[in-house]
Amino acid sequence: MKKTFTCIICPNGCSLDVDYDGQNIIVKGNLCKRGEIYAKEEIIAPKRTISSSVRLIDGDMEIVSVRLSSPVPKSMIFPIMEVIKKTRVTAPVHIGDVLIHDVLSTGADVIATRNAERRS
Amino acid sequence: MFEKKDVVIIGGGPAGLSAATALYRLGVKDIVILERESKLGGILRQCIHDGFGLQRFGKSLSGPEYAQVFIDEVIENHIEYHTDATVVTLAPDRRIEAVTPEGVLSYSARAVVLAMGCKERSRGSIMIPGERPSGVFTAGSAQAYMNIYNRMPGRNVVILGSGDIGLIMARRLTLEGAHVAAVFEIQDHPNGLERNIVQCLNDYDIPLYLKHTVTDIHGNSRLEGVTVSEVDDSCVPIEGTGKIYPCDTLILSVGLRPDNGLLKDAGIEIDPRTNGAIVNEHLMTSIPGIFSSGNVLHVHDLVDFVSLESEALAESVSRFISGTLSHDRDISVKCGSGIGHTVPQRVSSGDGFSLSLRVSSVMNDVVIKVRQGERDILQRKMRKANPAEMIRLDINSGTVLPSEDLEVLVE
């Protein structure tokens, strides 16, 4: 099987030519090692990260922005969004704080990406 | 009374913050940042998706995290800044006045850094006919509603324009439960980065229609639908191809323009190609001591390059203040065939610099050349060149001779 991907790891957006015979995966066109890893994952089990916001109680704004600490299988994106939607956290929150640990057993944490102070 | 400052920086977004922290590191500490919004960070505050910082920090950060790295450095070093401060006057003699809730701030600066960023083109700028219901948003305002104010712009969405913010918003709206019917792009190629087409549209089965545009808007108080038509090779809608898409929200991602109002007031020369200032390799505008970087100079794709450009600017500003900025020639950088624009547009010394450019159309297997007279200064082979992706070439010091103009072209 031959496939062409656009690598999404960084803005270079390398065009990857992937050759997969059921056992070996050969990747060409990548400028760096991350492209090879991405292409292999894309064949076997595609992964993505997502960003969203979590409801903030007593904070300077209604929400605090969050992202996943590492990519998760694509099929887990919408189930994770449901968990994020139900989550409430109380200010203050700081960048890097783990708001949901190991979300849905994916191994990824939901972490805060903004410093949110208490409402004054 | 005009307070004397070494450097006044207008804008506390990524360009202003990068310039301020770099100036401080270079020992230029008598500086002040003037920010119009209530917080530092600029547009990054609402860009909660990740992918920032891969070039600058070697890891993938969200916008607020990227900004905070610089904000922390500003605070640690006690760099003076004012928020809610809108600059209303920029005079050619580098006097600046800003209004704030506490009153007017007046400065007389040895150097000024213009770092005001860009603004979005709106429905008015592309003149979409039709009714005037609510529900028509620019991508950036929809992004602010969702990511800052926690409000959904709507439920059934059509997106016009394939700029990066529109693509990012297609994914964001889908994740939050809206239905995005399609993205329409008037040109024959996408306007955003290819990785965003993949991870924001393809991943969520959102179709992208090239050579299509919105030709009518329907709805009384709230948007009820838009008419979408195919366009011909000169981007003119083809009669009879119109199709109605019911929707309550239209998101426009139809381009960014440098926010150049203050430049005009000061009489700074503007490049009609970039809509930003004409600068030399030191990023100095046509008025000595006034410098510019980031999206108010030319619209960037990546914040990492805004930071790198602003850090180069800081070096020039520092030399200007100490009187060691060289200026021994005055040559132009001309846009040859296939080149949309370049920054800088002028060269005033033999110093090395980064030449940023965009090609004017999508091309495959080309060579980009920088030429002075009969001499090729630099060549860059490219498998593909796309106007949506800025290209940066490093010109080494001593390679530009004091004589003829430079020409950049595609072969």
pLDDT tens digits, one per residue of B369-404? 999 999 999 999 998 888 888 999 999 999 999 889
**Closest approach of A105 to chain B, Cα-based (Å):** 20
The span from the CA of A20 to the CA of A22, in Å, is 6
Buried b (16+ CB within 10 A) or exposed e, B263-281: beebebebbebbbbbbbbb
For the beta sheet containing A63-68, the strands, ordered from the edge strand earlier in sequence to the opposite edge, are A88-90, A51-57, A63-68, A110-112, A98-100
Q: What is the mean pLDDT of residues A69-73?
A: 95
pLDDT-derived band at A120, boundaries 50, 70, 90? confident
pLDDT computed for residue A12 by the predictor:
75
Domains of chain B: 1-119+257-325 (3.50.50.60), 122-254 (3.50.50.60), 327-411 (2.60.40)
On the question of pLDDT at A38 being above 90, the answer is no
On the question of pLDDT at A4 being above 90, the answer is no
Interface residues of A toward B, Cβ cutoff 8 Å, are 5-11, 13, 15, 48-53, 55, 61-63, 65-67, 74, 77-78, 81, 95, 113-115
Nearest to A51 among B49, B68, B389 (CB): B49
pLDDT computed for residue B383 by the predictor:
83
On the question of pLDDT at A11 being above 80, the answer is no
pLDDT-derived band at A78, boundaries 50, 70, 90? very high
> Is B59:B53 a contact under the CB 8 Å cutoff?
yes
Q: Residue B69's closest chain A neighbor by CA?
A: A95
User: Which residue stretches of chain B have pLDDT < 70?
Assistant: none
On the question of pLDDT at A40 being above 90, the answer is no
Does the distance separating the beta carbons of A81 and B203 come in below 8 Å?
A: no
* Residue ranges of chain A assigned to CATH 3.10.530.10: 51-112
pLDDT computed for residue A114 by the predictor:
97
In the 3-class helix/strand/coil scheme, how is chain B assigned residue by residue? Answer: CCEEEEEEEECCCHHHHHHHHHHHHCCCCCEEEECCCCCCCHHHHHCCCEEECCCCCCCCEEHHHHHHHHHHHHHHCCCEEECCCEEEEECCCCEEEEEECCEEEEEEEEEEEECCCEEECCHHHHCCCCCCCECEEEHHHHHHHHHCCCCCCCCEEEEECCCHHHHHHHHHHHHCCCEEEEEEECCCCCCCCHHHHHHHHHHHCCCEEECEEEEEEECCCECCEEEEEEECCCCCECCCCCEEEECCEEEECCCEEECCHHHHHHCCCECCCCCCECCCCCCECCCCCEEECHHHCCCCCCHHHHHHHHHHHHHHHHHHHCCCCCCCCCEEEEECCCEEEEECCEECCCCCEEEEEEECCCEEEEEEEEEECCEEEEEEEEEEECCCCCEEEEECCCCCCCCCCEEEEEC
The sign of the torsion formed by the CA atoms of A35, B302, B389, B112 equals negative
Q: What CATH number belongs to A51-112? A: 3.10.530.10
pLDDT-derived band at A25, boundaries 50, 70, 90? confident
pLDDT computed for residue A107 by the predictor:
97
The span from the CA of B316 to the CA of B285, in Å, is 12
Question: CA-based angle B150:B44:B204, to the nearest 5?
Answer: 65
Residue numbers in A near B150 (CB within 8 A): 53, 55, 61-63
> Is A27:A17 a contact under the CB 8 Å cutoff?
yes
B232: amino acid identity, one letter: D
Residue numbers in A near B193 (CB within 8 A): 11, 13
Class of residue B222 by CB neighbours under 10 A (exposed 0-12, middle 13-18, buried 19+): exposed
Does the distance separating the beta carbons of B175 and A52 come in below 8 Å?
A: yes
The span from the CA of B134 to the CA of B241, in Å, is 26
Residue numbers in B near A61 (CB within 8 A): 148-150
pLDDT computed for residue B144 by the predictor:
97
Look-up of token digits 């207008």: B10
Residue numbers in B near A63 (CB within 8 A): 147, 150
**Closest approach of A49 to chain B, Cα-based (Å):** 8
The span from the CA of B358 to the CA of B342, in Å, is 7
Q: Residue B41's closest chain A neighbor by CA?
A: A114
- Highest average pLDDT, of A8-12, A27-31, A113-117, comes from A113-117
pLDDT-derived band at A7, boundaries 50, 70, 90? confident
Does the distance separating the beta carbons of B195 and A8 come in below 8 Å?
A: yes
pLDDT digits (tens, 9 = 90+) for A85-103: 999 999 999 999 999 999 9
Provide ipTM, 2 decimals.
0.89
